Amino acid sequence: MNVGFIGLGIMGTPMAAHLVAAGHTVSGYDVVPEAVGKLEAAGGRAASSVADAVADADVVITMLPNHPHVEEVVLGAGGVLDTAKPGTLLADMSTIRPETSIAVANAAREKDIRVLDAPVSGGEAGARQGTLSIMVGGDEADFAAASPLFEAFGATIVHVGPHGAGQVVKAANQLVVGGIYALVGEAIVLMEGSGVDAGTGLDVLAGGLAANRILDLKRESMVARRFEPGFRIDLHHKDMSIALAAARQAEVSLPMTGLVAQLIAAARAMGHGSLDHSALLKVTEELSGRA
């Protein structure tokens, strides 16, 4: 397929490279010229603008930081809706508010452009290894049409509902991940504050009902206070605001999510925004006078 790829950052560059490797023709654009250079080095074509990237595309993929970037690239003057051919399929794989995904789909319908929201989980490692989880909202036929592309970099690819549903599932993912980090941090602070070896204690937790993937992957680095990212506090802060916005939209009350969002905001305010989200432990240490 001819693919226009906008947003060649940490995630977008390896995803676009997988598409090239799978035999697709990829025209990529990013506001940062070096990012476009990386796609060229991987065998893609460097586009000079959004319009240039999407002109001949069957499918356009956007992988941008947040909803204002998606609004600019998709809805703005000279953006995807202005310049893509009628019938083009747009898969927005950025993590953004569900309500923006729905607004984009509604605006696109008027231009005869089909849209999927398809955020991912799995991080930079998942993007590089081609093992991302992809949660997709939109029409079933469009999901089927985009699936061959998603298979180039995804291992778990699931159609979860109509427009916006992919973003809702991603928000649910992020609130659970944030909550588990907060509680594992509290477990460490409790054990250390009680004179109990936290590493040994977490080994026991990891074998019982409290077992979870974060304990498996991160307990050693958390106990050792190694917080190099990974997934940065700054991005998780953005994702918690998406979860709270989605809750407001759905008119549901998520008190734990609100609390975790405040703890992540505190981590950021303490200057830890560039650290891995496991650095939530530092907030609990600060609250306990153990920083």
- Confirm or reject binding of residue 261 to ligand NAD (CB under 6 A): no
First to last CA, the chain: 53
Tokens standing for residue 225: 């206070």
Rounded Cα gap, residues 191 and 194, in angstroms: 5
Size of the site for ligand NAD (CB under 6 A): 26
Report 147-186 residues binding ligand NAD (CB under 6 A).
none
Interaxial angle between packed helices 255-269 and 165-193, expressed in degrees from 0 to 180 and rounded to the nearest 10: 70
Query: Are the C-beta atoms of residues 243 and 175 closer than 8 Å to each other?
Result: yes
Rounded Cα gap, residues 150 and 14, in angstroms: 13
Identify which of residues 120 and 215 has a Cβ nearer to ligand NAD in the complex: 120
Report 47-66 residues binding ligand NAD (CB under 6 A).
63-65
- Confirm or reject binding of residue 137 to ligand NAD (CB under 6 A): no
- Confirm or reject binding of residue 263 to ligand NAD (CB under 6 A): no
Work out how close the CB of 108 gets to ligand NAD at its nearest, in angstroms, rounded to a whole number: 17
Find residue 3's DSSP bridge partners.
Answer: 26, 59
| CA contacts within 13 A on the Cβ side of 16 | 35
Pair type for strands 114-117 and 2-6: unpaired
Work out how close the CB of 119 gets to ligand NAD at its nearest, in angstroms, rounded to a whole number: 6
Nearest residue to ligand NAD on Cβ basis:
9
Phi and psi torsions of 137, nearest 5°: -110, 145
- Confirm or reject binding of residue 104 to ligand NAD (CB under 6 A): no
Identify which of residues 32 and 291 has a Cβ nearer to ligand NAD in the complex: 32
Rounded Cα gap, residues 41 and 103, in angstroms: 35
Rounded Cα gap, residues 184 and 205, in angstroms: 10
Residues in CB range of 277: below 8 A, 6 or more apart = 177, 178, 181, 229, 230, 231, 232, 233, 236, 264
Report 111-130 residues binding ligand NAD (CB under 6 A).
120-121, 123-124
- Confirm or reject binding of residue 69 to ligand NAD (CB under 6 A): yes
- Annotated active-site residue 170? The verdict is yes
Among residues 38, 85, 111, 170, the one annotated as catalytic is 170
- Confirm or reject binding of residue 215 to ligand NAD (CB under 6 A): no
Window contacting ligand NAD (CB under 6 A); options: 7-15, 176-184, 247-255, 267-275: 7-15
Active-site positions read 170
**Site residues (CB under 6 A) for ligand NAD?**
6-12, 29-32, 35, 63-65, 69, 72-73, 94-95, 120-121, 123-124, 231, 235
